């Protein structure tokens, strides 16, 4: 596949030839291509007329499913870069959407040198580059860079394959949030008979952002708990997508046997036990493609310059695919592996949850809305009601103290809305005794 992939596919795949037509400019080549198409047609028809079922079958298999429509050539920079990647996508993954595992490395368009240097061509390729807000300039200069070293030891996190991996986006300064999560909804170990593992995803606090130097404290924390995934890049809002792809790569190499993955922020409360109950209820045929959260559909980029989610027209044009709000979403480990692979063919986008939606779309999937994810909080009058949390999966936002308080509401046998352990707990205890 790696040595001769595109050429072979081009010959084998009539659809691919059609896709490429627009890129061939001389009529000579066009003529040749049409001739080739004609020959393929003849060969297929002849084999069909001879009744060779196998050929007909493989012909059907070769037709890419057009769940991902290639957009028109756009004046926006991100669209142009992605357009080139979509050509690779069509030739290599479109007919293998369920398991694009043949895609090994990252195409060089997305891979800078190591250590990655800024791509100064963007300063001329984007006409209004110099007038863009600084965060966009930073983002665009490093858009191709996505290999940063992991600087903490996380070898123990998944030494026993977890049923549920909780991956929490955090930044160095949030020590209290991480500790509250460890002591409440993110406690690693066995809950209701299921193994839970927790990791915190961190970049580095950069002196240019006027952060104090917390590196030794984070180092100490990482040694103490072994649950810190810290990469050597600058943690910032627009680098959250980098955090996403780095996590997916780590997941694929170090924790691929996790059955489910939750990824969310460090200012949410997760009712881990209700999440487990929900996962236990999902029918087998639905587990493989599971991706649930607070789904936002029919959205597009904001064009008002002062907004947090502002995207200039010179950077991106188009609508957003359905995506689950980045406060927290839940997906199957198997889908996590497919997301990891497909993400290598999707240009980094400054908004991480939209980016994940873009990856899902290329896998032919749509995230499913689940009413238990309250990323815009619950009604104020219910917030102090312990029972309001019993049947929820996620609530945002909550402070570290809230997390500890709410966790006790559902875990204290004397509390009114205590969630009784499921039968599985016995299994968990047995499991522990056996060791």
Ligand X SMILES: *[C@@H]1O[C@H](CO)[C@@H](O)[C@H](O)[C@H]1NC(C)=O
Binding track over 270-309 against ligand X, x by CB under 6 A? ----x--xx--x----------------------------
Spatial distance between the Cα atoms of 368 and 289, rounded to a whole number of angstroms: 10
Stretch of residues binding ligand X (CB under 6 A), selected from 108-116, 222-230, 332-340, 399-407: 108-116
238: its two tokens: 């627009």
Note whether 236 binds ligand X by CB under 6 A: yes
Note whether 415 binds ligand X by CB under 6 A: no
Stretch of residues binding ligand X (CB under 6 A), selected from 66-74, 132-140, 321-329, 362-370: 132-140
Q: Which of 19, 177, 234, 361 binds ligand X (CB under 6 A)?
A: 234
Note whether 233 binds ligand X by CB under 6 A: yes
Note whether 85 binds ligand X by CB under 6 A: no
Note whether 4 binds ligand X by CB under 6 A: no
Binding track over 40-79 against ligand X, x by CB under 6 A? ------------------x--xx-----------------
Pick 95 or 198: Cβ nearer ligand X? 95
Note whether 95 binds ligand X by CB under 6 A: yes
Q: Which of 135, 182, 219, 383 binds ligand X (CB under 6 A)?
A: 135
Q: Which of 16, 97, 138, 270 binds ligand X (CB under 6 A)?
A: 138
Site size toward ligand X, by CB under 6 A: 28
Note whether 210 binds ligand X by CB under 6 A: no
Pick 25 or 305: Cβ nearer ligand X? 305
Pick 33 or 62: Cβ nearer ligand X? 62
Spatial distance between the Cα atoms of 430 and 428, rounded to a whole number of angstroms: 5
Note whether 108 binds ligand X by CB under 6 A: yes
Note whether 239 binds ligand X by CB under 6 A: yes
Note whether 96 binds ligand X by CB under 6 A: yes
Note whether 187 binds ligand X by CB under 6 A: no
CA distances from 333 to 21, 218, 238, 310 (A): 38, 28, 25, 32
Spatial distance between the Cα atoms of 244 and 240, rounded to a whole number of angstroms: 6
Note whether 10 binds ligand X by CB under 6 A: no
Residue of 183, 179, 159 whose CA lies nearest to 170 = 179
Pick 58 or 288: Cβ nearer ligand X? 58
Residue at shortest CB range from ligand X: 114
The phi and psi torsions of 5 (rounded to 5 degrees) equal: -50, -70
Note whether 373 binds ligand X by CB under 6 A: no
Stretch of residues binding ligand X (CB under 6 A), selected from 17-25, 48-56, 99-107, 180-188: 99-107
Pick 65 or 433: Cβ nearer ligand X? 65
Spatial distance between the Cα atoms of 46 and 42, rounded to a whole number of angstroms: 6
Which residues form the interface with ligand X (CB under 6 A)? 58, 61-62, 92-93, 95-96, 102, 105-106, 108, 111, 114, 135, 138-139, 142, 147, 233-234, 236, 238-239, 242, 274, 277-278, 281
């Amino acid at each position: 596949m790696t040595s001769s992939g595109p050429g072979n596919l081009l010959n084998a795949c009539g659809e691919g030839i059609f896709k490429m037509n627009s890129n061939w400019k001389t009529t000579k080549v066009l003529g040749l291509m049409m001739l080739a198409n004609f020959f393929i047609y003849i060969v297929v028809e002849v084999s069909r007329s001879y009744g060779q079922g196998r050929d007909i079958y493989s012909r059907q298999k070769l037709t890419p499913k057009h769940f991902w429509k290639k957009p028109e050539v756009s004046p926006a920079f991100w669209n142009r870069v992605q357009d080139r990647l979509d050509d690779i996508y069509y030739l290599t993954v479109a007919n293998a959407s369920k398991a694009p595992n043949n895609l090994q490395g990252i195409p060089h368009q997305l891979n800078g040198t190591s250590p990655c240097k800024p791509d100064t061509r963007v300063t001329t390729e984007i006409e209004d580059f110099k007038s863009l807000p600084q965060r966009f300039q930073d983002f665009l200069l490093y858009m191709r860079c996505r290999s940063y070293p992991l600087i903490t030891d996380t070898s123990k996190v998944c030494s026993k394959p977890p049923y549920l991996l909780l991956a929490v986006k955090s930044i160095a300064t949030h020590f209290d949030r991480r500790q509250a999560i460890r002591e409440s909804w993110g406690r690693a170990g066995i809950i209701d008979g299921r193994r839970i593992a927790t990791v915190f995803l961190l970049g580095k606090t950069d002196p240019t952002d006027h952060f104090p130097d917390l590196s030794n404290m984070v180092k100490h924390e990482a040694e103490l708990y072994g649950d810190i995934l810290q990469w050597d890049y600058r943690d910032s809002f627009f680098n959250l997508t980098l955090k996403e792809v780095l996590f997916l790569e780590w997941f694929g190499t170090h924790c691929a046997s996790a059955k489910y993955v939750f990824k969310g922020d460090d200012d949410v409360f997760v009712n881990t036990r209700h999440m487990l109950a929900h996962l236990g209820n999902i029918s087998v045929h639905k587990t493989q493609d599971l991706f649930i959260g607070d789904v936002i559909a029919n959205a597009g980029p904001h064009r008002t310059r002062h907004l947090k989610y502002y995207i200039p027209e010179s950077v991106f044009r188009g609508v957003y695919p359905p995506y689950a709000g980045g406060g927290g979403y839940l997906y199957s480990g198997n889908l996590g592996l497919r997301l990891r692979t497909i993400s290598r063919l999707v240009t980094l986008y400054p908004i991480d949850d939209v980016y994940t939606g873009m990856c899902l779309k290329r896998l032919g999937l749509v995230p499913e809305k689940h009413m238990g994810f309250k990323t815009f909080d619950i009604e104020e009058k219910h917030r102090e009601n312990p029972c309001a949390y019993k049947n929820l999966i996620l609530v945002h936002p909550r402070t570290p103290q809230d997390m500890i308080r709410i966790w006790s509401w559902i875990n204290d046998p004397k509390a009114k809305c205590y969630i009784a352990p499921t039968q599985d707990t016995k299994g968990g205890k047995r499991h522990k005794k056996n060791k």
